[in-house]
Amino acid sequence: MTLGLTGTAHAAAPATASAAAHAERGAGDDPDQPDNPLYDAPEGFYVTSGRQSVSLSWGSLSAATKYEVYRAEAEGTEPDEVGPYALLATVPTPSYADSDADADVAYAYKIRALDDAGHVSPFTEPLRGTRDTVAPFAPRDLTRTSEDARGVTLTWRTGDSDSVKYVVYRAESPNAARVKVGSTTSLTLRDTKGDPGRTYFYEVRGVDAVGNESAPSNSVSGTRTVTDATVPKAPVLGDARLVGDRLSLSWSQSPYVPISSYTVYRSKSSTVDVTDPANRVATVTRTEYTATVGEDEGERDYYYAVVATTAHEVSSAPSASVKPAYSQPRPPGATQVYDITAGAGTVRLSWYGVPYGSDESPVTGYRVYRSAQPGVTKENAEVSHATSDTQFVDRGLTGGTKYYYAVATVNEDGLESALSPEVSATPTS
């Protein structure tokens, strides 16, 4: 909120007229300053209020080598309502920034020029300025006036402040951080940048001439309308892996425009051309795609991109083109049998399920190896059983015979882990 007056002060007559008058009266008419070349005050004196300082500028005089800046507290608006002037600074150039001014105190400023011979010019007419740190009043009655496919339109009242413009902010939830949408000198703004279908929360702040920003207005919500012609956002293709011959792609999609399908494209150029039907790989309804590809090294050179399509056949821009990271298939982790129970001609085993990471092939099952001799291995096992469960009942066993077991984990690539630690049990007859 600007408290002081700003403006410009000019010499009483143009420089050409002053020079003519000076020539007529003679340079030595002033007995205190004979032959004074600084017969006029500097012209074009400006004072500009700011938050960090009060800025002064004026036109230079060819005969001047320095300038004196004077300042006084301005107690009122009338010329005589000014405190005593004091020398504030002596500067070699025609500008000065008063950063030592007390905040929100109105000051009057005037300057004069000096040369090396001790001559001084008349003072400029005084002008007022303030280091203004007072924010304007907050705008009032922020209202959402319309929501359509073009955006959300907002209006508000000034709040009876000295704002010269208004800044509109929005957030994705009531307590989320605000981001700037735009600024305007009017009392209305349409936000055309929001995602269609997404609700935002808006507020507006006033800004005065020196950049002080007000407290926020009230908050309102608004949603840009989704129509049959709304273009969805491009998918964000995140995970892209090629493990052996197994391709896995997954992506995320903005949820605010309903998507009916995704089309996967690929090419050996680093930017996939999705306009070429020959590059189309598949159309899916989920945000993931898996496939078995050829095992030759040429399959590792493809880039992939995904396009989202609405039920109204409106397609997004393609995702970024991504080349899947290639790795050799890895065997899964080993398990451990935590319970083995013998029964009449049976042995029941239970073991821990084995987790797998995002960069690993999924575990699809387990294989139980059995031998009548200790030191069971995959090679010397007499029997093996496959199961997708984490337990197994071995039946038809001979009572009184001790059997030895170990379990291997099996993944989607058909690879097996190392065997679990060996366990044993003796069924009854």
- Residue 290 confidence (pLDDT): 93
Same domain, residue pair 321 and 407: no
Q: Indicate the pTM of the whole model.
A: 0.65
The structure tokens listed for 312 are: 């109204």
Residues 24, 97: one domain? yes
Together in a domain, 64 and 116: yes
> Does residue 276 form part of some domain?
yes
CA 91 – CA 118 distance, rounded (Å): 15
Domain-ending residue, one of 305, 327, 349:
327
Domain boundary among 302, 327, 352: 327
Burial class (CB in 10 A: 0-12, 13-18, 19+), 133: middle
Where a domain ends, among 327, 346, 363? Answer: 327
In a domain, 83, yes or no: yes
Q: In what order do the strands lie in the sheet with 246-252?
A: 288-292, 246-252, 236-243, 325-327
**Same domain assignment for residues 97 and 204:** no
Read off the CATH number of the domain in which 179 is found.
2.60.40.10
Query: Do residues 50 and 6 make contact, with C-beta atoms less than 8 angstroms apart?
Result: no
- Note whether 394 and 288 are same-domain residues: no
The rounded distance, in Å, linking the Cα atoms of 3 and 377 is 91
Considering its fold, how many domains does the chain have in total?
A: 4
User: For each of the chain's 429 residues, which pLDDT tens digit applies?
Assistant: 444 344 444 333 333 334 434 443 444 456 566 688 999 999 999 999 999 999 999 999 999 999 999 999 997 777 667 889 999 999 999 999 999 999 999 999 999 999 999 999 999 999 999 999 999 999 999 999 999 999 999 999 998 888 999 999 999 999 999 999 999 999 999 999 999 999 999 999 999 999 999 999 999 999 999 999 999 999 999 989 998 888 999 999 999 999 999 999 999 999 999 999 999 999 999 999 999 998 777 889 999 999 999 999 999 999 999 999 998 888 999 999 999 999 999 999 999 999 988 667 889 999 999 999 999 999 999 999 999 999 999 999 999 999 999 999 999 888 999 999 999 999 998
Domain assignment of residue 272, given as a range: 236-327
Please state the separation of Cα 207 from the chain's center in Å. Answer: 23
**SS3 state of residue 409:** strand
**Do 246 and 304 share a domain, yes or no?**
yes
- What residues form DSSP beta bridges with 283? 263
Domain membership flag for residue 90:
yes
**Residues making up the chain, counted from first to last:** 429
